[in-house]
Structure 1
């Protein structure tokens, strides 16, 4: 709130108007007080603590590892990305011809990399895309990521 008021006042000064009375009084008080004044040191310490807190909040990951889910009621549900990757990997391994599957779940994309053992890679890719699409829909994510399937044939 205070930052918004200060921003409005700065814009008004840049537009050619006079600064607000509270800003003129604050500038005069800060100009006349000595640097070692108790109020100056308290304000500087408070500004430093707020700055460090804002820096910490900016550098921490937050809840980006959680995917929000659809909910019919006003409830909030989230699914861990690693858990979603395990469910999708298990579904991919049930497709005939898939030897190994590696799944990465991101916010906007699911990347599936598989090694084909004995079937035609194009058929496996089509089957795998359909299975992963169904499994993704069963996860009931509020913003379903798109699925990218990469298949390579491994000859033993």
Structure 2
């Protein structure tokens, strides 16, 4: 079984995202490094489901001590453990306050799968449209209900700015090893 946390982050300019919670799931799933398995974390609030695949960027480390988070915008549903090579669209900058009161940055990176044939994805390969940004923000606000966490948005980064932030996450991961 591959060690998902240590996969190469970038290959041929594309960024890998490991799916933890697939599109349509009504519960949050997460990769558990100790057991190398994907496990149940918690249900989403009633009536909610993941609008797109949710996962992490391997070989990165964020302020929260976990790999950087990624949302993959596409129409297919996958499964936990699927690795998708993606184009980076941008990132939603997020300040998160945990149940214990700790405040940290926990950005959400937004991707679309790279396709070599005719693309049918709902977004352009270089940005997140404004209406989709609002929908993504609403999902993240609603998804933390009942967790003791609060989040505040600090704006959006374009793909170039987000790529720089991912490279910082790669350096943090390398330094921790």
TM-score category, normalised to shorter length: under 0.3
Q: Which has the larger radius of gyration?
A: 1
| Larger RCO (CA within 8 A; separation ≥ 6) | 2
The structure carrying a bigger helix percent of its residues is: 1
Q: Normalised by the size of structure 2, how large is the TM-score?
A: 0.25
The structure carrying a bigger strand percent of its residues is: 2
Q: Normalised by the size of structure 1, how large is the TM-score?
A: 0.28
